[in-house]
Structure formats: structure tokens, C-alpha cells
Amino acid sequence: MPAPEPSHAAVVDLLGLVALGELLAFERMAVDARLAPDLRRRAALGEMAAAEIANYRRLADRLTALGMRPDEAMAPYVGPLQAYHDSTEPRDWAEAVTKAYVGDAVTDDFVREIAGALAEPDRRLVLDVLHDSSYADFALAEIRAAVGSDPRVAGRLSMWARRLVGEALSQAGRVAAAERGAFTALGARGGLDVPGLFQRLTVAHAERMTAAGLNN
């Protein structure tokens, strides 16, 4: 017997969370682009940012189609997501691309997990907002170049990545407290395994750090 469809409220909750994540990631990357050492890299991070706001628009349109105002669906998460970005302001280009790399990848892992708990057309929609791998490739190449040009940078960026994950986990607790039952509802129907989710996200993050030449 297939699991019952997730409730309308749970879907709205999750889409609102993902939509706000896209909107704030857009702003942060666009702001951080000014740290780029040259115009080519500055434009590249700007284009990564623009991809986020295009995804935001698709999620906002779906929320509207579901009869929910996007800003209302996002409102419960503004506090924790904004706090994450405010507490992890990059000081230079290497920190900015590391933040984009780590943040995009963890977001994608999270989005893939919740996609499994959704019915169509929302499952397809959230899978469509996964990041284009060309952006991760760009960020990864920038991190490797920074580490390669100065071995001490590896230590500094490794610490920075740990801080990013620490702040994200700390705010994830606030997100879980703010959501209005979506995770529990989806978990109860077997669609979202929250403790397993965090473990899988952490393992995948550690593998990516190794790939980037950083220590976990």
C-alpha cells in the first residue's frame, strides 16, 4: 500500500523553507561576489546567485498555486536562516566560495531527502531546483586554487567549513522548532527520517571536504 500523500500544510511548510533558503542564498552570494579578485570571478558568483533566485520564483509560484502567500510560507524560517548568514559572513574570496560550495551541497542533499517525502508535482519541482553541477565545479576549482597557492589556507578554510556546518546545525534546531509539523508529519508516514537525514548530510559533507583538499 503506498504511503498517504503528505498534507497540504506539510508541503507548504517545506516549500516555504526551501524557497527562503534560495532567496537568502541569492542575496548572500550576490553580496559576496564583491569579494572576487577579478571581474570574471565576480560575474561567475553573480550567476550562481541568479540561479538561486530563478529557483525561488518557481517555488513561490507553486506556493501561490497552492493558495499560500510565499512570504507567509517563508516567515517562520526568516529568524534562523538570516541568523545563519549573519553569523557566517565571509571575510575574503576563498571563504565566500567555500561557503557557496558547502551551502549549495548541503542544501541539495537536504532537498533530495525531502523530495522523497513529497508527491508529484512537488517532488519534481524540488528536484528541479537542485544546483547545476557547473557551479560546484567552479567553487571547487577556486578552493583548490586557494589551497594550492598557500598550504596554510587549507587549515584556515577547514576551520571555516567546520564553523559553517556548526552554525547551520545550530540553526537547523531552530528551523525544526519553527516548522509547523511538516517534518514530523512526513517522518510519521515514513517519508522523512530526520535522525538518519542529519547523519547522511554530515557524511556527505565530510567526503566533499576531502575532495576539496580540506580536513573535516
Q: How many CB atoms lie within 10 A of CB 152?
A: 8
Cell of 80: 534562523
- 3: nearest Cα among 185, 128, 179: 185
Nearer CB in complex with a copy of itself: 81/201 = 81
Question: Closest approach of Cβ 15 to a copy of itself, in Å?
Answer: 14
Nearer CB in complex with a copy of itself: 30/206 = 30
From CA 115, how far away is CA 124, in angstroms rounded?
8
Options 50, 145, 203, 211; binder of a copy of itself; rule CB under 8 A: 50
* Contact region with a copy of itself (CB under 8 A), list: 54-62, 112-120, 148-156, 180-188: 54-62
Measure Cα distances from 160 to 2, 130, 164 in Å.
43, 24, 6
* Interface of this chain with a copy of itself, residues 67 to 106, rule: CB under 8 A: 69-71, 74-75, 78
Q: By CB under 8 A, is residue 27 in contact with a copy of itself?
A: yes
Measure Cα distances from 13 to 103, 125, 181, 215 in Å.
20, 15, 8, 35
Which residues form the interface with a copy of itself (CB under 8 A)? 20, 23, 26-27, 30-31, 33-34, 38-40, 42-43, 46-47, 49-50, 53-54, 56-57, 60, 69-71, 74-75, 78
